[in-house]
Amino acid sequence: MSVRQLVHRIDASTPAHRDRAVDGLRALALMAVPAGHWLLGGFTRDGDGALHNASPLSEFAEFAPVSWVLQMLGVFFLVGGYASVLSYHRRPSTGGAWLRGRLVRLGRPVLGVTAVWALMIPVLYAAGVPEDTLRTGAKLVIQPLWFVGVYAVVTALTPCCVRLARRFGGWAAAPLIGSVALVDFLRYGPYADAVPSWVGVLNILPGWLFAYQLGVCWGQGRLSRRGAGLLLVGGTALFAVLLLVFLYPASMVGVPGEARTNSHPPSLLVLALASAQSGAAVLMHGRIGRTLSRPALWAPVVVINLSAMTILCWHQTAMLAAAVPASFAGVVPGLTTSPDSAGWIVARLAWMPLFAALLVLISRYARRFEEPWETGDRAGHVRRAAAGLLAAGFAVFALRLA
């Protein structure tokens, strides 16, 4: 079958009721994750040949606006809430069964990637890969997986979000942004020295639930175009005020050596960006849907959505598959050299197609971890138990608890 035939087959098999715009937004937000990690994450190579994490943002503060474009988790949570509420209303069984199904779908790929890495670590070590490189790799692999845990929690709150949306409409998300603003005031206000550092953890749930709640409201028809316009304008204005008046860090991702970060836990700046992105997404919904009616544009969206968790779980492995062998070669611009020059940026951009190709290759085999588990098979239960133990061992190694 030719590529053209496959493209038209995918288009023809898509149900007429399928919301192509929502799928397109999800695919866009998803692809921003590897693009951001590949572009804004680098390595330095020490005298023993080991790789350590580094970031071009440490040297190029003016590069921070790139993180505004690539930080699209607000859009991801928005469409997640939208899709979840539609799925929740169409559920054929109880809410508990619906939630278990959603959580298992999230957990299978995570279990797969961590179990495989647990097996790879001793093999790589025996092959001469330095332990520091293995720790760096483990940190990178586990880094995006925090998202799965947070997403699982907000998914479990879907019934509550549905009730709030019915009662308050889009305003149901307002207390969440207010909660984050209060915690930020405690962390960074005039009495910050008297506030314990753990207070920032209180922002994790409301910070990421904000866009999800907006998505639930949108899915229930409780977020109008007027409301979307208010989100876009208000979020943009708040973003500017936080940057220019309250001097929030400009980068949306953590920068090595910086005392403050916007992302872990999310600050009010993250919610301002999510608000603007959500408003723009709702306003552009119709135009995006019409654009994706073209088969050649729709087919890649389908492929990306079908491999969503595989892309999330394995994109760092794809980058490491290029960088670790390069570390044995010595100085390789864009891979093992410090990200402190314009030349590094040019070299890294040149390497990104290779990262993408390696991710495609890895995905051909890793996609099986997204497939449903067979039930009633004793051997299958044993394999899952073994994978769970391996995953736990990898987590201990990655978190430096071993």
Q: For residues 41 and 168, which has the higher predicted lDDT (pLDDT)?
A: 168
Q: Tens digits of per-residue pLDDT, 140-149?
A: 998 888 888 8
Of 33, 23, 25, nearest in space to 315 by CA: 33
Is residue 29 a part of any domain in this protein?
no
> What local confidence, expressed as pLDDT, does residue 339 receive?
92
Q: Are 24 and 292 in contact (CB under 8 A)?
A: yes
Percent of the chain with pLDDT over 90: 66
**Is the pLDDT assigned to residue 207 strictly greater than 50?**
yes
pLDDT of res. 401? 45
Residue 15 lies in a domain: no
Say what the pLDDT of residue 391 is.
79
**Which residue, among 138, 117, 106, has the nearest Cα to 391 in the 3D structure?**
117
Answer whether residue 183 is part of any domain. Answer: yes
Q: Tens digits of per-residue pLDDT, 317-327?
A: 999 999 999 99
Query: Is residue 379's pLDDT more than 70?
Result: no
The number of distinct structural domains making up the chain is 1
Please give the average per-residue pLDDT across 334-353, as a whole number.
93
d(CA 205, CA 366): 30
Please tell me the predicted confidence (pLDDT) of residue 230: 97
Residue among 391, 398, 352 at smallest CA distance from 369: 391
Is 249 a member of any domain?
yes
Average pLDDT over residues 174-198: 92
| 25 falls within a domain | no
CA-CA-CA-CA dihedral for 230, 236, 238, 241, to nearest 10: -150
Higher pLDDT, 378 or 164: 164
pLDDT category at 229 given cuts 50, 70, 90 is very high
Structure tokens that stand for 156 in this block: 């479990």
- pLDDT tens across 12-44, in order? 999 988 999 999 999 999 999 999 999 988 999
Q: What is the DSSP letter of 367?
A: G
Percent of the chain whose predicted confidence (pLDDT) is above 70: 97
**pLDDT score recorded for residue 81:** 96
pLDDT given for residue 402 in this prediction = 45
pLDDT value at position 396? 77
First-last CA distance in the chain: 50
- Distance CA(345)–CA(327), nearest Å, equals 18
Higher pLDDT, 325 or 2: 325
Residue 380's pLDDT is 66
In the chain, count of helices (H) and strands (E)? 17, 2
Tell me the pLDDT band of 79, cut-offs 50, 70 and 90: very high
pLDDT(374) > 70:
no
Pairing of the two strands 42-45 and 51-54:
antiparallel
Q: What average pLDDT does range 96-108 have in this prediction?
A: 89
Asked whether the predicted pLDDT for residue 106 surpasses 50, the reply is: yes
Report whether pLDDT(60) > 60: yes
Q: Does 17 map to a domain?
A: no
Neighbours of 278 (CB within 10 A): 32
Structural domain of residue 167, as residue ranges?
Answer: 38-398
* pLDDT number for residue 400: 66
Compute φ and ψ for 385, nearest 5 degrees. -65, -40
Contacts of 183 (CB under 8 A, 6+ apart): 199, 200, 202, 203
Stretch 242-262: mean pLDDT, rounded? 86
Angle between helices 204-219 and 73-89 (to 10 degrees): 50
Exposed, middle or buried by CB within 10 Å (0-12, 13-18, 19+), for 329? Answer: exposed
Q: What is the band of 377 on the pLDDT scale with cuts at 50, 70, 90?
A: low
**What interhelical angle do 73-89 and 95-126 show, nearest 10?**
140
Q: Please indicate, yes or no, if residue 14 is contained in any of the structural domains.
A: no
At 260 the pLDDT is 85
Average pLDDT over the chain, rounded to an integer? 91
pTM above 0.85, yes or no: yes
In a domain, 32, yes or no: no
